[in-house]
Structure 1
Amino acid sequence: MNTNRKAPTGILGFPIAPFTVSNRLDPHMLEKNIQFLLDEGLEAIFVACAAGEYPSLTKEEYEEMVEVAVSTAGGKVPVYTGVGGNIETSLELAKVSADKGADGYLILPPYLVPGEQAGLAEYFKIIAESTDLNAIVYQRDNVSLSISALEALAEVPQVVGVKDGLGNMELNTLLTQTFGKRFGWLNGMPLAEVTMPAYVPLGFDSYSSAISNYIPHISRKFYNAVLSGDQEIVNDIYQHVILPINNIRRQRKGYAVSLIKAGMEIMGIPVGQTVRRPILSVEKEHYAEMETILKKAMNRFPKEAPIQSI
């Protein structure tokens, strides 16, 4: 039985799904992606989620990604998987996650057909209770959870956290003030560094970091500055890194995924830019802009060499 009923805190790693030019999953590159995140000190690995193009994966690819993540992490940090959408598929993949040794899963919202709050609560509850793994519920798109829905989920021990991808700060205030530390609170907004300074005072103590796939030291420097109240560093990184990257991300739908792969390639992590439809690769002009931003970012915020022990 999983007795560690606590959501991960800190900066959370969301590895991509590396595909070959022939559109096959490359488990070796996935392992390298995950190992890079571990080496950079990210506090958890969330595999086969939105950044990992979860909706496009076959069951076999999903199983392989979970196996690689659990094996590479080796118990050093918790491994969460993505489940969601179709409830029957979610239940099947939740079992896969448990069988493969994951610590928990992020339950993505159901799509296309909206549900009443009671129906949404049941959706998350059924999936969460299907195994003993920890579960984090994700509100975004057409899912906005009410206090009554979270009251029902608060009775489920497996539900350890709430991830927000809506950005409704009034709702976030109501939820965090109502439930406090019963749940862990995760910022799941696209390019979450943009909003994290506003989330921290509400009790959010973790966020998913897309840029940590290629410039994790800058994400860490930013978060440390947010927590310590160093507004000068926060503003500096905002102006020279986060907001320029976010401006590119907002240019096209799907860039929340494909821009990660472009950033990794630019930074010398050769995963390629193959993405599955309906996502498109980053356009040449935006790729060139990204190259310029990252070159300037590395010059302004160079990665410090690790301190060598004597």
Structure 2
Amino acid sequence: MNFERKSPTGILGFPVSPYDEEGNVDQHALTVNVEFLLEGGLEAIFVACGAGEFTSLSLKEYEKMVELTVSVVEGRVPVYTGVGGPLSEAVEKARLSEKLGAEGYLILPPYLIEGEQNGLYEYYKAIIRSTDLNAILYQRANAILDLPTLKKLVEFPQVVGLKDGAGDMERNVEFTQNIGNQIGWLNGMPMAEVTMPTYVPLGFDSYSSAISNYIPHVSRKFYEAVLNDDKEITNQLYEDVILPINSIRRQRKGYAVSLIKAGMEIMGLPVSNTVRPPIIPVEKDHYKQLEKILDETLNKYPLKSKMV
């Protein structure tokens, strides 16, 4: 093992799966996406996860995206992949991630079935034990853990973190109070900037940022304001950027993914507002609303990137 046995902290980048005119994964666009996130100072790259339309990728596409991302990153930050769904596929992707040089993976929920706690434990255990990579558990949808289950999973040295996408703060308090710094705590709520001020006091020191794909400087400015308890800047960014974008995101199911691509396209990155079913692209009116928000954002908070 030539990587650190700990969860990444700070702002985490989740690149999309860009498609070309034939509907294939656009490798050039993915390269630009990853480089843009690195230039924005993000502390880790999570490829082929939720924002990357994990469930819509073939195994061949998945392999190529992981291979390309590891090559582009070149060890500058940790690279994590997404695994999950049917158990056999999850194990296969975990082993593939290890072979291709990823540092770890994020375990997304199993497909469809709501299992008992012992069933969830066995699901996670089978994946975790299949490799020596770092494993981050993702709590959301049909994968909600109880404290005794999480305690057993933390006994595996591969488990370095838990990402919460459920928003059950009572459960999060129980987790962090009982487990403490044995693992890292990641905020994985949709548009996590909205909720990050409520997570930081519990010990959550990182979050997945959707808007970092097109305005990473705003993510950084907001995160630093939250950590420094600068309520003036925090509230201003809420008003100017975060809540207006979140208001659009909530208009349609699947916008948590497609709105990222729309924002990237507006910012001049080589990603079109194209997604795979069942996700739908951003509608014209919502697209125009996002354009207006980003125009006003750049006027007030200029982006210094050379790539856009």
Task: List aligned pairs for 1:107-256, cutoff 5 A.
Answer: 107-256=107-256
Q: In 2, distance between residues paired with 1:238 and 1:151?
A: 36
Q: In 2, distance between residues paired with 1:278 and 1:298?
A: 32
User: Does residue 19 of structure 1 match 2:19?
Assistant: yes
Ranges of 4+ aligned residues in structure 1 off by more than 6 Å: none
Deviation of 1:4 (Å): 1.6
Deviation of 1:270 (Å): 2.1
Q: Percent identity, aligned pairs only?
A: 63
Q: Deviations over 1:236-257 (max 9, x none)?
A: 0001100000000000000000
Deviation of 1:61 (Å): 0.4
Amino acid at match of 1:7: S
Cross-structure match for 1:39: 39
Contact 2:3–2:103 under 8 Å retained in 1: no
Amino acid at match of 1:158: Q
Contact 2:186–2:206 under 8 Å retained in 1: yes
Q: Deviations over 1:130-159 (max 9, x none)?
A: 000000000001221111111110110001
Deviation of 1:3 (Å): 5.7
Q: Deviations over 1:103-130 (max 9, x none)?
A: 0000001131111111111111110110
Deviation of 1:305 (Å): 7.8
Deviation of 1:195 (Å): 0.3
**Structure 2 unpaired stretches of 5+:** none
Q: In 2, distance between residues paired with 1:286 and 1:202?
A: 35
Contact 1:2–1:134 under 8 Å retained in 2: no
Q: TM-score, with normalisation over the residues of structure 2?
A: 0.98
Q: In 2, distance between residues paired with 1:2 and 1:164?
A: 27
Contact 2:121–2:149 under 8 Å retained in 1: yes
Q: Secondary structure at the match of 2:107?
A: strand
Deviation of 1:192 (Å): 0.3
Q: In 2, distance between residues paired with 1:2 and 1:149?
A: 29
Q: In 1, distance between residues paired with 2:64 and 2:301?
A: 36
Contact 2:136–2:162 under 8 Å retained in 1: yes
Amino acid at match of 2:204: F
Contact 2:83–2:106 under 8 Å retained in 1: yes
Q: In 2, distance between residues paired with 1:250 and 1:187?
A: 18
Cross-structure match for 2:60: 60
Distance 1:216 1:3, change over 3 A: closer
Contact 1:10–1:206 under 8 Å retained in 2: yes
Q: Secondary structure at the match of 2:45?
A: strand
Q: Secondary structure at the match of 1:8?
A: coil
Cross-structure match for 2:277: 277
Q: TM-score, with normalisation over the residues of structure 1?
A: 0.97
Deviation of 1:300 (Å): 1.4
Q: In 2, distance between residues paired with 1:90 and 1:303?
A: 38
Cross-structure match for 2:9: 9
Give the count of matched residue pairs. Answer: 306
Cross-structure match for 1:292: 292
Distance 1:305 1:126, change over 3 A: closer
Q: In 2, distance between residues paired with 1:84 and 1:265?
A: 29
Cα-Cα RMSD: 1.1
